[in-house]
Amino acid sequence: MNVVPRPHNVSELVERALGGHEPARRQIVEQLSRRVRTIALSILGNSADADDAMQHIFLELFQSLASFSGEHLAPWADSIAVRTAVRHARSRRVRSARDACVDPEELSAELTTPAGHGVPRALVEYLAELPETRRVALVLRHVLGYTVEEIAELTDVSPNTVKDRLVQARAQVRKTLRRDLALLPSGARRNHE
Amino acid sequence: MNECLTWAALSDKTALGGSLTAEERLFVRSHPSGCAACASEATLWDDLGRVLDEPERLTTKPTGSTQAPSRRGFRQFVAWGTRARRPLVAAIVAASAAAAAAAVSWGGASDSAAPRRLASASGRPRSLAPVPLGAPNGARLALAAGEARVNQRAAVAGERLETGAVLSVAVGEACVLVPPGVTVCIDEGTELSVETLDAGTRRFRLHRGHAVAHLERQPVGSSFGFDTPAGSVVAKGTVFSLRTDESAVSLRVHEGVVLNDSGTRTNSYQAPSVALLSYERGPSVVTDPTMSDARLVELAKYFTDRSNGVLMVTAAAGSSVGLGDFQLGVAPISALVQPGNYRLEVSRPGFAPIVERLAFEPDSRLARAYEATAELHTAVGDEAVKAPRGALSESAATLLDRARELRAAGRYPGASATYQRLLREHPGSAEARVALVSLGELQLSQLGNADGALRSFDGYLRAGGPLRQEASYGRIRALRALGRLSEARTAADAFISAYPQSVQAAALKKDVP
């Protein structure tokens, strides 16, 4: 059996990838793709855009690989993913127009099956309804677990602005969720007096 | 609602990195178990925090084999499983190789390395598979809870409803399966008849009352609808409710699109929407068309064409029958059940619940009868197991959780009894303090026990705690309910000056008795 040895540490992996070693690049993509795509999907709100953005993210990531000097790829990749996904979101403002064109008859056939965990719609839909700045703050805080100060640094705003965005984002998600629960009830209304 | 506001504020505080006191933490942890809306929100935040490890949490989990699309036409059919990911990984690696090569040879000038646009591996929009054709025609009663009748005879789940059959409910609820893929549920004071069961055009007539229909996507050329005093209301795949008192008809569309043909024109209503379809006989007397569909929607989604076993339970009046996590309704009850193992629970205020494990084979039939003595006892039925009385050693947290579960399931007397047991057995605990406010709310809002509610709120206020605002507001409402208006006014004045910016203060100012 022909086994290609995998690099033992990150710097070796990066070295090889920079040297054009395809298995090393593949390993990096496989290591990070799940995380990077989740970030992209959280920020962009739909699968097609997330996949497009993912390609840009990895392209940027490999172009910046020479500047990588840490011990872990994930945090470094996160910041690239966030920046690239935000840029991608700004370049794509067609979602609302596309939604407006949905055929009502087709809609009637496309019913959501509520998720089994008590949230009427997919998380990604709640995120997609948020303005970009709030969505990014929420994703960085809740999905990636950054502190308010770290988010402020990543997004070039003050910590107070981040706090404000987070509170607004949470309030908006809360409002949407409760509206959904009222419209797609599962016993919630009776107990939410 | 008051507790919910507190919960939301504390939850936000945590999200911003703030710290909570032990009692606040307990409240944040325990409140959602008694409040479905906050429980959903807690789940949402929790899921969001896990999406890096479990990306599928970001997208709707299908309950069947087909990925469910969005209700709102927002077409992300995300199938981010292994099979979907592999081609994309390969494509990215290929592209990255080109980009990396470009970066190296051009000194990393990113603007020179224009990214190649790759084929997206995301799923294209696709339709849910419609319900298969060829499902048997006819309608079957899926649930008869309380006083449900077919053609003036006591209704029994499983019986067929032929064209012309009249189904009515005096007390309780009833559901009908109309294959393929349609479930109709009705509640008290409702009467409907079966107009036609032709596969292409199945129609019921709603004579009076309240009905909810849940339709899976229907085969081509097939629809289901109601005839009403305001014309026909037809859908192909949706959830909607109708309510009529014979002079006016209100329609509420929860999901999908519904067509109303009044005879002179056809209107389309898309979810979410509420419409009053007829003013023909003067102003509408339809009350509250927006608020009370929840239970029937729940029922309509529970019964499906796969429900084929029959469960029959008789018990003392006022007994509630639950199957697994689902509250079937009030006894006497008969219901169609999908094959599987279940936990049957029969409960009645003031009595220990009876719990029995049931195994349903396809097309099986099980009958149980219970009578109330000092406790509920099994009178008929094989291998019935009486519920063990709760052990005294149960912790305060366990009791609080159970009380909140009972409350969330709408089993208010049981919830009240459990709160009171918690207060009795763990009087000094933080859980008991929190329970006083929950119990007060329950007594006031659900059990019509304003006197008890006042005692509960007063009990909490004597001890003090973070729910002081909620307890104070509850106390005012309890005083009002008891007709002690002068005391209520004094308490309201004190409340307004203590919490001038609160939502409750605004409500009190607006609603001076």
Q: What is the pLDDT of residue B96?
A: 53
The length of chain A in residues reads 193
Q: What is the pLDDT of residue B108?
A: 29
Do the chains contact at A110 and B127, CB–CB below 8 Å?
yes
Answer whether B413 touches A (CB < 8 Å): no
**Residue B134 domain-assigned?**
no
| Same domain flag for A59 and A80 | yes
**Greatest Cα pair distance in chain B:** 89
- The whole-angstrom separation of Cα B494 and Cα B499 is 9
* Domain end point (choices A103, A124, A142): A103
A99 → closest Cβ in B68, B74, B239: B74
Q: Using a CB cutoff of 8 Å and minimum separation of 24, what contacts does B261-268 make?
A: B261/B231, B261/B232, B261/B234, B262/B230, B262/B231, B263/B231, B268/A104
How many domains does chain B divide into?
Answer: 4
If chain B, 513 residues long, is cut into consecutive pieces of 10 residues, what is the mean pLDDT of each piece?
A: 80 86 80 80 84 69 32 25 43 53 31 27 27 54 89 86 88 89 89 85 87 84 82 79 74 81 75 69 39 78 86 77 85 87 79 78 79 37 33 68 77 80 79 85 82 88 80 89 87 87 76 57
Residue spans of beta strands (DSSP E) within B290-406: 309-314, 320-323, 326-330, 333-337, 340-347, 354-360, 365-372, 376-380
| Same domain flag for B333 and B203 | no
Answer whether B274 touches A (CB < 8 Å): no
Residues in chain B with CB shorter than 8 Å from the CB of A55 are 91-92, 95, 115, 117-118
* Domain end point (choices A84, A103, A122): A103
Give the closest-approach CA distance of A44 to chain B in angstroms: 11
Residues in chain A with CB shorter than 8 Å from the CB of B4 are 192
- The token duo for A1 is 């059996």
Burial class (CB in 10 A: 0-12, 13-18, 19+), A31: middle
- The whole-angstrom separation of Cα B49 and Cα B11 is 14
Return the C-alpha torsion angle B264, B270, B273, B277, nearest 10: 10
**Residue A85 domain-assigned?**
yes
| Same domain flag for B66 and B186 | no
Domain limits for position A170: 114-193
| Same domain flag for B274 and B337 | no
Look at the block and give the residue holding tokens 């006197």. Answer: B451
Look at the block and give the residue holding tokens 């009249």. Answer: B166
B residues 231-250 closer than 8 Å to A (CB): 235-239
Domain limits for position B345: 309-369
| Same domain flag for A69 and A123 | no
DSSP assignment of B388-431 = PPPPTT--HHHHHHHHHHHHHTT-HHHHHHHHHHHHHH-TTSHH
| Same domain flag for A134 and A70 | no
Do the chains contact at A181 and B36, CB–CB below 8 Å?
yes
- The token duo for A63 is 């172009």
**Residue A64 domain-assigned?**
yes
| Same domain flag for B348 and B408 | no
| Same domain flag for A31 and A92 | yes
Residues in chain B with CB shorter than 8 Å from the CB of A26 are 89, 93
How many domains does chain A divide into?
Answer: 2
- B301, B307, B339, B337: which is closest to B322 by C-alpha? B337
Residue-wise pLDDT for A45-92, tens only, equals 777 778 888 888 888 888 888 888 777 888 888 888 888 887 777 766
* Domain end point (choices B325, B353, B369): B369
The amino acid that residue B491 corresponds to is: A
Q: What is the pLDDT of residue B335?
A: 92
Residue-wise pLDDT for A112-136, tens only, equals 333 344 777 888 888 888 888 888 8
Answer whether A181 touches B (CB < 8 Å): yes
Return the C-alpha torsion angle B31, B37, B38, B42, nearest 10: 130
Residue-wise pLDDT for A132-176, tens only, equals 888 888 988 888 888 888 888 877 888 888 999 999 999 999 988
- The token duo for B42 is 């807690």
Give the closest-approach CA distance of A172 to chain B in angstroms: 12
* Domain end point (choices B247, B279, B302): B302
The complex scores an ipTM of 0.73
Find the angle CA(B196)-CA(B200)-CA(B206) to the nearest 5 degrees.
40
Do the chains contact at B37 and A178, CB–CB below 8 Å?
yes
**Residue B120 domain-assigned?**
no
B residues 59-98 closer than 8 Å to A (CB): 59-64, 68-78, 80, 85, 88-89, 91-93, 95-97
Find the angle CA(B492)-CA(B498)-CA(B501) to the nearest 5 degrees.
95
B118 → closest Cβ in A55, A117, A185: A55
A interface mutation test: which of B61, B71, B404 has the most A CBs within 10 A?
Answer: B71
- The whole-angstrom separation of Cα B403 and Cα B397 is 10
Look at the block and give the residue holding tokens 């349609």. Answer: B182
Q: What is the pLDDT of residue B136?
A: 47
Return the C-alpha torsion angle B129, B133, B134, B138, nearest 10: 100
| Same domain flag for A58 and A152 | no
A148 → closest Cβ in B16, B96, B239: B16
Do the chains contact at A111 and B237, CB–CB below 8 Å?
yes
Residue-wise pLDDT for A6-39, tens only, equals 555 788 888 888 888 888 888 888 888 888 888 8
**Residue B390 domain-assigned?**
no
| Same domain flag for B442 and B499 | yes
| Same domain flag for B315 and B295 | no
Do the chains contact at B120 and A121, CB–CB below 8 Å?
no
**Residue B114 domain-assigned?**
no
Domain CATH for A83: 1.10.1740.10
| Same domain flag for B400 and B443 | yes
- Say if residues B211 and B186 touch (Cβ distance below 8 Å): yes
Return the C-alpha torsion angle B480, B485, B489, B494, nearest 10: -60
Residues in chain A with CB shorter than 8 Å from the CB of B127 are 106, 109-110
- Say if residues B258 and A146 touch (Cβ distance below 8 Å): no
**Residues in CB range of B511: below 8 A, 6 or more apart:** none
Find the angle CA(B350)-CA(B354)-CA(B357) to the nearest 5 degrees.
160
A99 membership: H or E segment, kind and range: helix A95-100
pTM of the entire predicted model: 0.39
Do the chains contact at A113 and B63, CB–CB below 8 Å?
yes
